[in-house]
């Protein structure tokens, strides 16, 4: 039905007298709205980075290099009764599977053992792992600490803060660890604590490289099909078959060792960190067994003199005595025939067979007597 215009008005007059249509003003987003959107994006990106840490750390274990990625072994595993810690000498020299089997055979106790040692890691890194990573609800009964001499010494150019993914070990109360050199370090520390995306930037980059970069030297360890190198869930170090130890490798290793052994000096700060580690373990009710890890005679010959070896040995015995912890001193192992001459991969890392000998000794003489009660618990 069509409505007629009011009497006395034609259609044209109705159009002319109609009020003009008002245009809807265009509103621009406010500055606060833009900042809010950016803030949400930043939060989402950092939540994503945090969620990707675990899978990226699992990938990073395929990097045969000193990194803090070993902490994922602890995160993924159930609570262990025995935990091996230390440097690469402990990583390749203390076998959790051998320890578990030996204790079970000796006592009937079913125990779990785990190795979370870090290649290149020293007392400073392991202290932070005990303090910040190992949760009280998931802590072991016993820590077997495989000690290497360099962990207590002044080593040229050693800086734990340069280790890949080292920031994952730090918390707010560790601000003094890597901020001694100035304002930039302090700002960097704050940024890493606040923003997982910034803290994990190197982890993300290396993970993508491992997955996507065929020129990455470690990519073949991951992309090797049925021949993929198996990384044991208990953390024990397996030497990659595509990294043979030849004369050139041995020469480079010898040169690196000579750099600190030829001018032996104990480092008071690193010695203090071992003291801190043992003190914290005692406070948390964790028993520690110190193992002065074995080296072959060729390694011992690289020391500047026998007096320096005696000083190191005296320092280790003094620390063990001061903290009332058991000490397994295997440093000059071949003197009593504990290990055969072929028990080492190179100048200081044990072969799997060598590791089995050392681990059985520790399990039989030190772990089994302490874990007998587990058979009836």
- 65 pLDDT band (50/70/90 cuts)? confident
Is 335 a residue whose pLDDT tops 80? no
Residue 370 is predicted with a pLDDT of 92
Bridge partner list, 289: 144, 326
Beta carbons within 8 Å of 108's beta carbon, 6+ residues apart: 375
Bridge partner list, 83: 114, 143
- Which residue's entry shows tokens 């207590």? 152
Is 136 a residue whose pLDDT tops 90? yes
Residue 333 is predicted with a pLDDT of 59
Residue 11 is predicted with a pLDDT of 55
Instruction: Tell me the C-alpha distance between 160 and 267, whole Å.
Output: 14
Is 66 a residue whose pLDDT tops 90? no
Q: Which two structure tokens, joined as six digits, stand for 88? A: 């690469």
Quick count: other Cβ atoms within 10 Å of Cβ 86?
28
- Name the percent of the chain lying above pLDDT 70: 86
What does pLDDT average to over the chain?
A: 86
Is 354 a residue whose pLDDT tops 60? yes
Nearest by Cα to 151 from 93, 88, 92, 91: 88
- Which residue's entry shows tokens 């890691």? 121
**Residue 219 or 11, more confident:** 219
Instruction: Tell me the C-alpha distance between 267 and 83, whole Å.
Output: 26
- 17 pLDDT band (50/70/90 cuts)? low
The arithmetic mean of pLDDT across residues 1-19, rounded, is 56
Residue 337 is predicted with a pLDDT of 63
The arithmetic mean of pLDDT across residues 120-145, rounded, is 95
Q: Which two structure tokens, joined as six digits, stand for 360? A: 């059985």
Is 174 a residue whose pLDDT tops 60? yes
**Residue 238 or 296, more confident:** 296
Instruction: Tell me the C-alpha distance between 71 and 124, whole Å.
Output: 15
Residue 91 is predicted with a pLDDT of 94
Domains in the chain, please, with CATH? 68-162+230-376 (3.40.50.1110)
Residue pair 175/194 in contact by the 8 Å Cβ criterion: no
Residue 283 is predicted with a pLDDT of 97
Q: What is the pLDDT of residues 317-333, one digit of tens each?
A: 999 999 999 999 999 75
- Per-residue HEC secondary structure of the chain comes to CCCCCCCCCCHHHHHHHCCCCCCCCCCCCCHHHHHHHHHHHHHHHHHHHHHHHHHHHHHHCCCCCCCCCCHHHHHHCCCCCEEEEECHHHHHHCCHHHHHHHHHHHHCCCCCEEECCCCCCCHHHHHHHHHHHCCHHHCCCEEEEEECHHHHECCCCCCHHHCCCHHHHCCHHHCCCCCCCCHHHHHHHHHHHHCHHHHCHHHHHHHHHHHHCCCCCCHHHHCCHHHCCCCCCCCCCCCCCCCCCCHHHHHHHHHHHHHHHCCCCECHHHHHHHHHHHHHHHHCCCEEEEEECCCCHHHHCCCCCHHHHHHHHHHHHHHHHHHCCEEEECCCHHHHCCCCCCCECCCCCECHHHHHHHHHHHHHHHHHHHHHHHHHC
The arithmetic mean of pLDDT across residues 162-176, rounded, is 89
Residue 24 is predicted with a pLDDT of 62
The arithmetic mean of pLDDT across residues 38-53, rounded, is 89
Residue 62 is predicted with a pLDDT of 83
Q: What is the pLDDT of residues 281-295, one digit of tens each?
A: 999 999 999 999 999
Q: What is the pLDDT of residues 178-233, one digit of tens each?
A: 766 678 888 888 999 999 999 999 999 999 998 999 888 788 778 876 556 667 89
Is 299 a residue whose pLDDT tops 80? yes
The arithmetic mean of pLDDT across residues 14-35, rounded, is 66
Residue 112 is predicted with a pLDDT of 96
pTM as predicted = 0.87
Beta carbons within 8 Å of 233's beta carbon, 6+ residues apart: 73, 76, 77
First to last CA, the chain: 93
Nearest by Cα to 113 from 221, 200, 232, 12: 232
- Per-residue HEC secondary structure of 204-229 comes to HHHHHHHHHCCCCCCHHHHCCHHHCC
Residue 228 is predicted with a pLDDT of 64
Residue 374 is predicted with a pLDDT of 53
- Name the percent of the chain lying above pLDDT 90: 53
Instruction: Provide the CB-side half-sphere exposure for 291 (13 A, CA).
Output: 29
Of 21-30, 176-185, 233-242, the poorest mean pLDDT is in 21-30
- 21 pLDDT band (50/70/90 cuts)? low
The arithmetic mean of pLDDT across residues 95-120, rounded, is 94
Q: What is the largest CA-CA distance in the chain?
A: 127
């Amino acid at each position: 039905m069509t409505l007629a215009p009011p009497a006395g008005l034609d259609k044209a007059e109705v159009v002319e007298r109609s009020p003009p249509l008002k245009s809807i003003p265009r509103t621009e987003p406010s500055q606060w709205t833009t900042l809010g959107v950016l803030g949400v994006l930043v939060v989402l990106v950092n939540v994503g980075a945090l969620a990707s840490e675990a899978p990226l750390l699992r990938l990073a274990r395929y990097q045969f290099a000193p990194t803090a990625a070993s902490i994922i072994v602890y995160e993924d595993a159930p609570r262990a009764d025995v935990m091996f810690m230390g440097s690469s000498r402990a990583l390749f020299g203390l076998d959790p599977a051998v320890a578990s089997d030996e204790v079970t055979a000796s006592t009937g106790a079913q125990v779990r053992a785990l190795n979370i040692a870090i290649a290149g890691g020293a007392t400073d890194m392991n202290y932070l792992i005990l303090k910040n990573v190992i949760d009280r609800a998931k802590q072991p009964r016993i820590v077997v600490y495989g000690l290497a001499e360099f962990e207590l010494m002044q080593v040229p150019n050693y800086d734990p803060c340069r280790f890949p993914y080292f920031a994952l070990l730090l918390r707010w109360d560790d601000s003094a660890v890597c901020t001694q050199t100035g304002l930039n370090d302090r700002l960097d520390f704050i940024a890493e604590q606040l923003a997982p995306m910034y803290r994990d930037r190197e982890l993300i980059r290396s993970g993508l490289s491992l997955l996507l970069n065929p020129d990455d030297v470690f990519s073949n360890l991951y992309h090797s099909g049925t021949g993929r190198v198996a990384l044991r869930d208990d953390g024990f170090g397996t030497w990659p078959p595509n990294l043979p130890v030849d004369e050139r490798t041995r020469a480079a290793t010898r040169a690196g060792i000579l750099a600190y052994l030829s001018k032996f000096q104990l480092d008071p700060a690193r010695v203090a960190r071992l003291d801190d580690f043992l003190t914290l373990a005692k406070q948390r009710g964790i028993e520690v067994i110190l193992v002065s890890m074995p080296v072959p005679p060729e390694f011992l010959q690289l020391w500047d003199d026998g007096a320096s070896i005696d000083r190191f040995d005296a320092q280790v015995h003094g620390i063990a005595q001061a903290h009332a912890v058991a000490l397994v001193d295997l440093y000059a192992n071949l003197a009593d025939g504990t290990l055969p001459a072929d028990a080492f991969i190179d100048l200081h890392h044990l072969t799997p067979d060598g590791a089995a000998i050392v681990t059985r000794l520790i399990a039989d003489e030190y772990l089994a007597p302490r874990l007998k009660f587990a058979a009836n618990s």
